[in-house]
Amino acid sequence: MTDAEWVWSDDGVNFHTRKWVRPEDLNANGSLFGGSLLRWIDEEAAIYAIIQLGNYRVVTKLISEINFEASALQGDLIEMGLRATHFGRTSLTMRAVVRNMITRQRILTIERIVFVNLDADGVPAPHGYRDITYDRDRMPHEHPDTSSIRLPGDH
């Protein structure tokens, strides 16, 4: 595979975020700790969902089987990519891929990460979107009012 083919492979997944594997991200084996990676992916998916659904009040509902295919070592650079695969009524489903930019191996794939769009009462709310935006046209333009976020039953 040529450099260009590798960079643009993984059909339609856009690799937005890169991370440098630091000592605090290692497990006792000396390789990348899966928990650090999942934290980064969940955050990446949350930001992606906010941009796609135009709402800060989005929560992780489901992360499907996670297949760790390869790992990374301290100092490696990794890149994370997401693509929306299904716009539901209140949910957004994404596919995630993480790759090691040094070894060119795929570190993991997650076929389904589901986020749910909530209203101010923490209840699932229709988001009204059916397809991916590549612009910033749905971005919220006010700061998130985190003090007003309530969970269901928290009144």
**In degrees rounded to 5, what are phi and psi of residue 95?**
-110, 140
Closer to ligand COA by Cβ: residue 13 or 53: 53
- Minimum distance from residue 124 beta carbon to ligand COA (Å): 4
* Least spacing, CB of residue 93 vs ligand COA, in Å: 8
Nearest residue to ligand COA, scored by beta-carbon proximity: 88
Is 62 a residue that touches ligand COA (CB under 6 A)?
Answer: yes
By the rule CB under 6 A, 124 interacts with ligand COA? yes
Beta strands 91-100 and 106-117 are antiparallel
CB of residue 87 to ligand COA, shortest distance in Å: 8
State in Å, rounded, how far the first CA of the chain is from the last one: 56
Q: Which of 39, 89, 120, 145 binds ligand COA (CB under 6 A)?
A: 89
- How many alpha carbons fall within 13 Å on the CB side of residue 43? 11
**33 alpha-carbon distance from chain centroid:** 17
Q: Is 58 exposed, middle or buried (0-12, 13-18, 19+ CB in 10 A)?
A: buried
Residue 90 found at the interface with ligand COA (CB under 6 A): yes
What are the residues binding ligand COA (CB under 6 A)? 59-62, 88-91, 114, 116, 124, 152
